[in-house]
């Protein structure tokens, strides 16, 4: 029972304490995780592949390690799921696409290697939007992922399977990837902490690229402390800087910027009051607020659309070995019936942009990106450590609402700036709307300053009721 409860609701530190204290074994936790998956996955469709034998063997190794008390990390014996665009030796990397149906990688992704070295137990791979393009986990060759709180709704995307698996209580931690928001947005919609580290800090080797210049691997956890621990292990950061005591201490009072432009944006019902309430909590421990104008914030979406279309084009060309410019071959690939509408739309846009603007267009967008980054950096140079926004302008929607939405171009509005700039950002759960749907607050920091980002999130978390995943009825 204890193992099941820990898998359903435990934070990383709670599970680690039970493992090192000997009240639960990695095997019991892994069995509980596999049972949870068996029970819940038929309705949620969060996992694409499950590896019971390998997971149980890894659990026994972790138990031996725990017993000897040698080489134990916070992840030793912890069941973890990884998004199905990350390579795991012996299994397919599907990216939820028929295009990759026979792709068996020859090595583990760098993050998988790090997870294994830390003693984590990889129980399965998670469902996602095809090739990581999308915001709702609706476009998958495996079918849609359902939201654990309300299966009629979507958990966000593209890492919706990872979010759904952690929130539903199948695993306490999952890895996702964030190109334009795909860790932060589903985390926000599923009441989880989702971290997008600085681009390049966690190695992308073994990740099927979506937009190479933006792709970033990050964890979904039930606590900010869990996110900090995962980040340290995945990035190989100095463990001394990430000691628990150091994480629990804010070095100086924070200064957080809030973009004025926010005030005029249409937000889903209940989001603004929860955002403002969370900001008040930050103020209650001495955080100073600064209102700033970020007029170029909106331009991010247009820029991102260019990068995302041309990026996926490059990525597919590379994968299918289309060395010469061969638009015909790519068009042919995507006309296959099995390819979903989002991939079709992006590749078509990518081909159009390439034909219209050529390399000069790319050079221009790269310049615009650099300018965007510098303007954002200016805020941090003016003495602000963090920028706060809601993570998403909407809460979890139904497929019908998604289809009818007038705001599809706004969905990623808040997560795109950090993606364009390559800055670290996280989503922190700040409560539920009247309809019972989770809302997240996004914090963004300067490149390389994950420690301030995580300390701020931990300081908030310490003042709030402990985060808990919810039970599925």
Active site residues: 83, 158, 182
Q: Least Å distance between CB 412 and ligand GLN?
A: 5
Q: Least Å distance between CB 285 and ligand GLN?
A: 32
CB 259 within 8 A of CB 387: yes
CA–CA separation, 359 and 362 (whole Å): 5
Residue nearest to ligand GLN (CB): 182
Q: Least Å distance between CB 10 and ligand GLN?
A: 28
Q: Least Å distance between CB 311 and ligand GLN?
A: 9
Shorter beta-carbon distance to ligand GLN: residue 10 or 176 = 176
Cβ neighbours for 139, distance < 8 A, ≥ 6 positions apart: 96, 129, 130, 133, 340, 341, 342, 343
CA–CA separation, 434 and 269 (whole Å): 9
Cβ neighbours for 399, distance < 8 A, ≥ 6 positions apart: 136, 138, 144, 154
Cis ω for the linkage preceding 158 (within 30 of 0) = yes
Shorter beta-carbon distance to ligand GLN: residue 132 or 267 = 132
Q: Least Å distance between CB 158 and ligand GLN?
A: 4
42: which 2 tokens? 């038929």
String of b and e for 8-28 (b: at least 16 CB within 10 Å)?
bbbbbebbbebbeeeebbbbb
Q: Which helix (H) or strand (E) holds 265?
A: none
Shorter beta-carbon distance to ligand GLN: residue 9 or 162 = 162
Cβ neighbours for 151, distance < 8 A, ≥ 6 positions apart: 43, 44
Q: Least Å distance between CB 44 and ligand GLN?
A: 20
Q: Which helix (H) or strand (E) holds 413?
A: none
How many CB atoms lie under 10 A from the CB of residue 408? 11
Shorter beta-carbon distance to ligand GLN: residue 242 or 423 = 423
Q: Least Å distance between CB 35 and ligand GLN?
A: 30
Residue pointed to by tokens 């966690």: 202
Shorter beta-carbon distance to ligand GLN: residue 134 or 340 = 134
CA–CA separation, 111 and 202 (whole Å): 8
Shorter beta-carbon distance to ligand GLN: residue 36 or 182 = 182
Cβ neighbours for 101, distance < 8 A, ≥ 6 positions apart: 92, 94
Binding site for ligand GLN (CB under 6 A): 132-135, 158, 178-182, 210, 308, 412
Handedness of CA 285, 291, 292, 296 (dihedral sign): positive
Shorter beta-carbon distance to ligand GLN: residue 133 or 387 = 133
CA–CA separation, 441 and 11 (whole Å): 19
């Amino acid at each position: 029972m204890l193992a099941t409860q820990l898998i359903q609701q435990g934070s990383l530190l709670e599970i680690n304490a039970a493992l090192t204290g000997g009240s639960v074994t990695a095997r019991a936790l892994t069995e509980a995780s596999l049972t949870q998956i068996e029970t819940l996955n038929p309705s949620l469709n969060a996992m694409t592949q499950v590896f019971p034998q390998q997971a149980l063997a890894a659990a026994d190794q972790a138990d031996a390690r725990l017993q000897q008390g040698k080489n134990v990390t916070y992840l030793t014996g912890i069941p973890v799921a990884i998004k199905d665009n990350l390579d795991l030796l012996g299994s397919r990397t599907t990216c939820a696409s028929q295009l990759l149906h026979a792709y068996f990688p020859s090595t583990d992704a760098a993050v998988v290697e790090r997870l294994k070295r830390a003693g984590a137990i990889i129980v399965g791979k998670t469902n996602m939007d095809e090739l990581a393009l999308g915001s709702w986990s609706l476009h998958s060759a495996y079918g849609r992922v359902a939201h654990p709180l309300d299966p009629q709704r979507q958990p966000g995307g593209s890492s919706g399977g990872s979010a759904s698996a952690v929130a539903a209580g199948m695993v306490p931690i999952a890895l996702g990837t964030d190109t334009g928001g795909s860790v932060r947005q589903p985390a926000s919609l599923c009441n989880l902490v989702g971290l997008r580290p600085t681009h390049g800090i966690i190695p992308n080797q073994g990740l099927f690229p979506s937009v190479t210049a933006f792709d970033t691997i990050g964890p979904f956890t039930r606590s900010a402390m869990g996110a900090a621990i995962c980040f340290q292990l995945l990035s190989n950061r100095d463990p001394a800087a990430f000691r628990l005591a150091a994480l629990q201490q804010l070095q100086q009072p924070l200064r957080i910027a809030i973009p004025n432009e926010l005030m005029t944006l249409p937000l889903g019902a209940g989001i603004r009051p929860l955002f403002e309430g969370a900001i008040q909590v930050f103020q209650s421990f001495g955080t100073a607020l600064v209102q700033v104008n970020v007029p170029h914030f909106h331009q991010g979406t247009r820029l991102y659309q260019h990068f995302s279309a041309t990026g996926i084009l490059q990525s597919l060309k590379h994968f299918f070995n289309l060395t010469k410019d061969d638009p015909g071959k790519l068009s042919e690939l995507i006309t296959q019936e099995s390819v979903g509408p989002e991939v079709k739309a992006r590749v078509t846009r990518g081909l159009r942009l390439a034909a219209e603007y050529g390399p000069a267009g790319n050079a221009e967008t790269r310049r615009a990106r650099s300018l965007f980054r510098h303007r954002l950096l200016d805020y941090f140079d003016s003495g602000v450590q963090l920028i706060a926004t809601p993570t998403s302008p909407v809460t979890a929607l139904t497929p019908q609402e998604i289809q009818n939405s007038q705001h599809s171009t706004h969905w990623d509005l808040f997560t795109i700036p950090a993606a364009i700039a390559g800055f670290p950002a996280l989503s922190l759960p700040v409560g539920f709307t009247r309809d019972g749907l989770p809302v997240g607050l996004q914090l963004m920091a300067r490149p390389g300053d994950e420690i301030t980002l995580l300390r701020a999130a931990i300081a908030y978390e310490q003042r709030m009721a402990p985060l808990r995943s919810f039970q599925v009825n």
